[in-house]
Amino acid sequence: MTSAIVAWLAQPKDFAAGVALYEAYGPSAVYQHLFRQGETTFARTSLVRELHKLVATPAPAVLPKQPELVPERHETVPKPADVEPEPPAVDPAALAHVNAQLKALRDERSHKHAQLTAPGLRQNDRRKLAFRILDIGDEVLETMQLLKHVLAHGSLPAGPVATVDVTDAGELRRRLDNLVALRSKVRKNPKRAAELPAMEKEIKLIRAKLKS
């Protein structure tokens, strides 16, 4: 293409040949239509100018093929194991209180066991001692749970909601059942007789709230 146009531009006498070159290589349909109308001064001037543009326009550069980018492989670094938070500082007074309760219960249980094996013990007394030993076992388990709570959270758990503030009927019935069962045990243990008035008062309060 370039050599033919350059050759024509060197001797631009044949207008028709120049028009043919532009028809073959020129991009503008407007100029193609103009040149088909015949030779005029304006048409010849425009034809020479436009063919010069075609020769002067460099061919698009062919860029070298870029090497294919291979994504970098990153070694997966394992995350460090979650660091367990440090346990909270334990309240010494709370810990001492629970340990004292636990020791007192275990001492009492050992003493009751010794009494249980004493010679000449009446059957009725033996039964009372056995029931108390069973109760102590339950209290030891409860105190152990309390000790775990203190070690895990650093303090004693918040106290239960007072019965006078409880409005849920299900919770009231649960407390009533527990108190009635506990009252039966306490009645069998003369040493815990002092606890009965408070229990009776609590039972009476719950029953009144359930009726209201």
Tally Cβ neighbours within 10 Å of residue 192.
Answer: 15
List the domain boundaries for the chain.
2-56, 88-158, 160-212
Q: Give the whole-angstrom CA distance, residue 183 versus residue 135.
A: 12
Residue 59 has pLDDT above 60, yes or no: no
* Top-confidence residue, 83 or 134: 134
Residue 203 clears pLDDT 90, i.e. is over it:
yes
Name the nearest CA neighbour of 210 among 145, 179, 166.
Answer: 166
**pLDDT tens digits, 113-122:** 888 778 888 8
Question: Can you tell me the distance from the alpha carbon of 110 to that of 137, in angstroms, rounded to the nearest whole number?
Answer: 11
Token digits of residue 24? 């073959």
- For residue 204 the two structure tokens come to 């009476």
For residue 71, what pLDDT band results from cuts at 50, 70 and 90? low
Under 8 Å between Cβ of 195 and 186: yes
pLDDT for residue 65 = 56
